[in-house]
Amino acid sequence: MTQESIQGLSAAAMLEVWEQGSGRHPLDQALLLLRYGFPEEPFEAMCEWSIGQRDAHLFALRRQTIGDHIAAYAECPACRNGLEFELSCSALLASVPTSVTTWTTVEQDGRVWELRGPNSRDLALATSVADPAQARRVILSRCVRNGTEDAAEVWTGADETALAGRLSELDPLAEVLIDLRCEQCGEGWQAPFDIVTFFWNELQSRSRRLVQEVDLLARTYGWTEGEVLRLSEQRRGLYVEMALS
């Protein structure tokens, strides 16, 4: 996956993705973004990507669609003070392994285990379970194996915790944690950053603005939606300025 090989979402594609994904589960929204952003990839294969692989593609798509720079916001857990922070899609993508192995062999407390990063199908099953501890066991039961045995039958509680940690190590982008410190009270913490939710919220905001621009330019110049959306963002912005003047 190279920057040159990725095309950002067009204005028309943004509206289609937003319309089809509105109100759906974030897992579905992520796969919908991938379908439009990487049309050459088989959908079944994308469902099998680990969450880190999935999110790496979403960071790359976001970079090509909106830009590399991300301005985000978090709230201090101690004093509720708001804090702005910045991220770079390219910097985060630099942590992605250059080669991807489906199953990786690791040793834990004298036992040999085979692990793979959870994928969208695994998370879909886990989200159907109300109890968080049981949801984690669902993921581990699908992503951990121990020779010919059922891994879930032989691991201990300590194994469960340790193996969950090893899964995170294998797939670094599956959970992005940002080290932050509150300027108000000095509290330090790790804030999770979810590219699916963040990118979707950006797309939703831009799509609503696009609909408003289409409405304005259609009423002003008599253009169709397709004609407005085919304009570059810069030209469309100039026409909007003139229509409002």
The model's pLDDT over 22-42, given as tens digits with 9 standing for 90+, comes to 999 999 999 999 999 999 999
228: nearest Cα among 207, 206, 210: 210
Tokens of 71: 């301005």
Does residue 197 have a pLDDT over 60? yes
Dist CA 67 CA 69 (whole Å): 6
Show Cβ contacts of residue 196 under 8 Å, excluding neighbours closer than 6 positions.
26, 29, 30, 33, 55, 58
pLDDT band of residue 74 (cuts 50, 70, 90) is very high
- Nearest-angstrom CA–CA distance, 80 and 65: 32
Whether residue 116 is found in the same domain as residue 89:
no
Same domain, 78 and 183: yes
Which is higher by pLDDT, 168 or 62?
62
Q: In this structure, are 140 and 187 located in the same domain?
A: no
Q: Are 123 and 91 in contact (CB under 8 A)?
A: no
Q: Considering only 24-33, 103-112, 151-160, 202-211, which range has the smallest mean pLDDT?
A: 151-160
pTM: 0.91
Q: Tell me phi and psi for residue 185, to 5 degrees.
A: -120, -5
Whether the pLDDT of residue 98 is over 70: the answer is no
DSSP β-bridge partners for residue 75: 82
Same domain, 121 and 184: no
Same domain, 168 and 237: no
pLDDT for 21 beyond 70: yes
Structure confidence at residue 4 (pLDDT): 54
Residue 50 and residue 164 share a domain: no
Q: Are residues 179 and 88 in the same domain?
A: yes
Residues 9, 93 within the same domain: yes
Together in a domain, 128 and 239? no
pLDDT for the residue 203 = 98
- The per-residue pLDDT for 217 is 98
165 and 197 inside one domain: no
Give the residue from 69, 12, 33 showing the smallest Cα distance to 207.
12
Domain check: are 118 and 229 in the same one?
Answer: no
Task: Give the closest residue to 34 by CA, choosing from 53, 87, 23.
Answer: 53
Contact 122/139 with Cβ under 8 angstroms? Answer: yes
Q: How many separate domains does the chain show? A: 3
Q: State the residue range of the domain holding 115.
A: 104-172
Whether 224 and 129 map to the same domain: the answer is no
